[in-house]
Amino acid sequence: MIDKHSQERLSVFICSPLHPLSADPEVAMIEMDHNIAIALQTCKLVTDMGMMPYCPHIYFPQWLDEFKDSEREREACPWDVNGCVKVTSAG
């Protein structure tokens, strides 16, 4: 475990699904909420381990529409992992 009070906290990119699989809008929203919950749980776990989670796909949808391809593609920029020393997959 890393010292939680250290000034140099390791950044961890959280890689987990967000976009729902269902074409049914009602089911898709449930799937998306579930995926966000998994990402948030993973962020909490990473934080509890003394590291700094980086999970842009749980905050980008607040101003980008996850259901529009042109806007969803903005979330997948390669610069997202710069500065992260680890990538964690969840979900």
Domain ranges within the chain, ordered by starting residue = 11-89
One digit per residue, pLDDT tens: the chain, 91 residues? 555 555 577 888 888 888 889 999 999 999 989 999 999 999 999 999 999 998 887 877 777 776 677 766 665 554 456 666 667 677 6
Label residue 51 exposed, middle or buried (CB < 10 Å: 0-12, 13-18, 19+).
Answer: buried
Q: What is the pLDDT of residue 47?
A: 94
Alpha carbon of 4 to those of 46, 50, 58: distances in Å?
Answer: 11, 4, 23
d(CA 47, CA 10): 10
Q: What is the pLDDT of residue 77?
A: 54
Residue identified by tokens 């020393």 is 85
SS3 86: strand
Stated as kind and residue range, the H or E segment containing 7 is none
Q: What is the pLDDT of residue 49?
A: 93
